[in-house]
Structure 1
Amino acid sequence: MRPLPLQGRVVVITGASRRIGIGAALARRAVADGAGALLHTWSPHDAEQPWGADAGGTEALLTELRAAGGRVEHVALDLVDPDAPAQVIAAACEAFGHVDALVANHARSSGQDLEHLTAAELDHSYAVNTRATLLLAQVFAAQHDDDRPGGRILLFTSGQHHDAMPGELPYIASKAALHEVTRSLAVHLAPRCITVNCVNPGPNDTGYADAETHAAIAAANPGGRWSQPTDTAHLVAWLLSDEAAWVTGQTIASDGGWSSR
């Protein structure tokens, strides 16, 4: 029988609106590893993007995970609301009684370059990508039982510290803040046996790129392909496990060498 490294633990995973996305891959792996999972989604953001919302995505994902024996609950909240992070953690505690790990995978993208930059979008991106993540970490830590093993916070940045992204200024500015805050959170929470790490998943094949962009990024990657959501899930699964209990304050890329070009 396959070992279940997260048996009995509960993970909150944000940004799981699309079945093709990273959040869904994280949820599948967490459930396969024995965890209970509270999935956060906000499909209206996807509906604003060129790729559109995943019609039926959340319910289909929940059905899939439960059919596989997963203990899964769901909450849909707009993280631009300053009260939403507390509501996410409260929903998980109500459903499962406790939360052992937070995986802050959510992201807002706007596609604004310098000429099209607006104060409104800067505020919106910081609210969702930075403020909500820090508030999630705050509320998670406040409810955490330090006598339980496996205290974990995983933040998600992007590759802005490796490669220029001039067409995504609000996104990369707000994601860069998470990269920089990781070590400070890790030091603060280390005495409580909660690790804090940050994941840079690299360019992930989640259906947003057109054919030309897809081919160009695959050709530019030293590994000759895009990262897949399952690649990211492998790293996250390890960071959530007991094997990574002595790893904290790190920003780790899972990008096939993209950041080493």
Structure 2
Amino acid sequence: MALTDGTDQQHRPVALVTGAGRSAGIAASVVLTLAQTGWDVGFTYWTPYDERMPWGADPEAMTQLSSQATKHGARTAAVEADLADPHATADIFEAVERELGSVSALVLAHCESVNSGLLDTSIESFDRHFAVNTRASWLLIREYAQRFQGAHGTGRIVSLTSDATVGNLPYGASKGALDRITLAAAQELAHLGVTANAIDPGPTDTGWMTAEIKDAVLRSTPLGRLGRPQDCANLVAFLCSPDGGWINGQLLHSDGGIP
């Protein structure tokens, strides 16, 4: 766990963002955008996941992310955590609360995502997807709710989801379950004054797209460009702001109108 002190720390609420292991990822953009809009930010990463993915590990990402957030006056706490471990959740909150204080906003941007379909998905892969994308998200939301100390109406939960299905079965199925957990939170945490929403950012250019995929996405997107991490981060920041407090229990498509 790494801590970096910012400069303007007075009255900054605390956000916890999961899955910020790569500079090119959506989570990293969320961390920086929240820092720019007045938040202190704790974030998680898990290097072994990136190491086994095609893009590889980004060993400087955490240091760079903390440094950039600090320039916006934010304090940051980076926590390495294996979200497949059901016991990791409490440790994450303990680390962030110890360094930054009570968490007001929880942004679930982590994922396990390995392409496979109905016929070639292994039981091990299926279980890992649900452990990381679904079970860990439920445990994080539960831990957040049990610890929430903010004023009524200030709490925020934002989950990043996907409508993937064909050829990406375990990822899409586990994200579909996450949608239901998030919508349940919007109702079950109403007594705390916490809003809960899910965002489907659509195909986003974070380094995973082949030239063929980029071409297909460009042809099917009405706005004629690829989704950028900042597009999703802007919506997350709005939902976490006071202006976004009346949006609750929604599955929001922020994908440029892709069918």
TM over 0.5: yes
Cα-to-partner distance string for 1:190-213 (whole Å, 9 max, x where unaligned): 121000111111111101011121
What is the CA-CA distance between 1:148 and the residue it aligns to? 6.0
Give the partner amino acid of 1:76: E
RMSD of aligned Cα (Å): 1.6
CA distance in 2, matches of 1:45, 1:25: 19
Aligned: 1:134 with 2:134: no
Aligned: 1:223 with 2:227: no
The equivalent of 1:49 in structure 2 is 53
Q: Secondary structure at the match of 2:64?
A: helix
- The 5-angstrom pairing of residues 90-239 of structure 1 reads 90-147=94-151, 150-160=154-164, 165-239=165-239
What is the CA-CA distance between 1:183 and the residue it aligns to? 2.1
Is the 1:7–1:33 Cα contact (8 Å) retained in structure 2?
no
The equivalent of 2:70 in structure 1 is 66
CA distance in 1, matches of 2:89, 2:129: 15
CA distance in 1, matches of 2:26, 2:174: 19
Cα-to-partner distance string for 1:67-98 (whole Å, 9 max, x where unaligned): 34321111001100001111111111111221
CA distance in 2, matches of 1:233, 1:156: 10
Give the partner amino acid of 1:154: V
Give the partner amino acid of 1:255: D
Q: Which runs of 5+ in 1 are unaligned?
A: none
CA distance in 1, matches of 2:11, 2:107: 17
What is the CA-CA distance between 1:118 and the residue it aligns to? 1.0
CA distance in 1, matches of 2:90, 2:59: 27
What is the CA-CA distance between 1:227 and the residue it aligns to? 0.9
What is the CA-CA distance between 1:115 and the residue it aligns to? 2.2
Give TM-score scaled by structure 1 length: 0.92
The equivalent of 2:4 in structure 1 is none
Work out the percentage of aligned pairs sharing the same amino acid: 37
The equivalent of 1:88 in structure 2 is 92
Cα-to-partner distance string for 1:103-136 (whole Å, 9 max, x where unaligned): 0110101111122111111111100000000000
Aligned: 1:21 with 2:25: yes
